[in-house]
Structure 1
Amino acid sequence: MRGGEPANLILKDTRLEGDLYFPSQLVVSGVIKGNVRCESMLVIERDGRVEGRIEAPVIIVHGELEGTVLATESIEIWSGAKVAGDVAARSVRVDQGSMLTANLLIAADLPDRLGPPEPQSDPKPAPEAAREPVQAVTQPIAPVTPPVGETRPAAPMSPPASFLSPGPARS
């Protein structure tokens, strides 16, 4: 533990869900799913998994991390670790043998907090009059992949939508 600071331990086979706040270090060997805010270092051990909206100054990943992540100081992704989602940090370390599949933002001027989550809209059912039976397609479908020996240019990538918005000022 860093500097003798007390730590919160989430042990293997423990599962927590919900909005969670930790004023000191957090070490996860179990599973956390939800909104997690840690005021100190967050360490995800090899068997640990954290999924959701995660905020911490320093995040060290040996296990799995997925979601919208803000590391206001740094994130370290060690060999064997898996990180996916939207990740923003001032400093990033990615070891060989780790997997990072994310929209990654590395910037010195990050906000101190994640903005509010996007509201989820419920799909509205179509009105009765608009519902018509679907007819089967009888034409053959063209192959998606090019024939052997031919290549197609990759589709252009659009820039990721920003997932950070300025949160309330910290006091």
Structure 2
Amino acid sequence: MFDRDKERIKRAQRTGQVDTLIGDKVVIRGDISFSGGLYLQGRVHGSISAQDPGAILTVADNGYVEGEVRAPVVVINGELRGDVHASERVELAGNARVQGNIHYKVVEMAAGAAISGRLLHLETPVALPAPEAGEALPERALLLNTATA
């Protein structure tokens, strides 16, 4: 069952399927919750969140969002003012203008894209094996960033 869902999600992401189109003359004031593919050419003043693990939000070059965005895949070529939370991938095209933090697993950024905020990588937690009875807990490694500027 889960394998079929994963395959459906991958197929939808590859095809760039668009289920909902918000045209360039549309202004929405309020939150949007969507599934599938949402292609935004207009303006949204409110948060946008995906309910589907295979959902894709595309903000076209004329698109504008003022609010938080949460979706597995976010493609931006317009303007976005707010934080972006992408559980899978963020693509920033050449005309992308983002004012806010971007939380991502994988990011792709084209020349010309601009970000006023921070890029924050989503770490996947590593599961430690459970200790057996009478066994001491394993020490946790402390990772330090020792790179110099």
TM-score, normalized by the shorter chain, greater than 0.5: yes
TM-score by length of 1: 0.59
* 1:68 corresponds to 2:83: yes
1:60-86 CA distance string (max 9 Å, x none): 111111202100001111112111112
1:33-89 CA distance string (max 9 Å, x none): 112112300001010011201100000111111202100001111112111112101
Aligned residues: 110
1:114-149 CA distance string (max 9 Å, x none): xxxxxxxxxxxxxxxxxxxxxxxxxxxxxxxxxxxx
Equivalent AA in structure 2 for residue 93 of structure 1: E
In structure 2, relative to structure 1, the CA distance for the partners of 1:106 and 1:4 (3 Å cut) is: closer
After superposition, the CA RMSD in angstroms is 1.9
Tell me the percent identity. 29
Aligned match for 1:78, one of 68, 93, 96: 93
Post-superposition, which runs of at least 4 consecutive aligned residues in structure 1 deviate over 2 A? 1-6, 107-110
- What is the CA distance between 1:5 and its match in structure 2? 4.5
Aligned match for 1:102, one of 97, 107, 117: 117
Gaps of 5+ in 2: 1-11, 126-149
CA contact (8 A) 2:18 2:38 kept: no
The higher radius of gyration belongs to 1
Equivalent AA in structure 1 for residue 43 of structure 2: V
Residues 22-171 of structure 1: pairs in structure 2 closer than 5 A:
22-38=34-50, 39=52, 40-109=55-124
- 1:60 partner SS: strand
Gaps of 5+ in 1: 111-171
Equivalent AA in structure 2 for residue 84 of structure 1: Q
Higher helix fraction: Structure 1 or Structure 2?
2
The 1-side partners of 2:40 and 2:118 are apart by 24
- What is the CA distance between 1:32 and its match in structure 2? 0.8
- 1:12 partner SS: coil
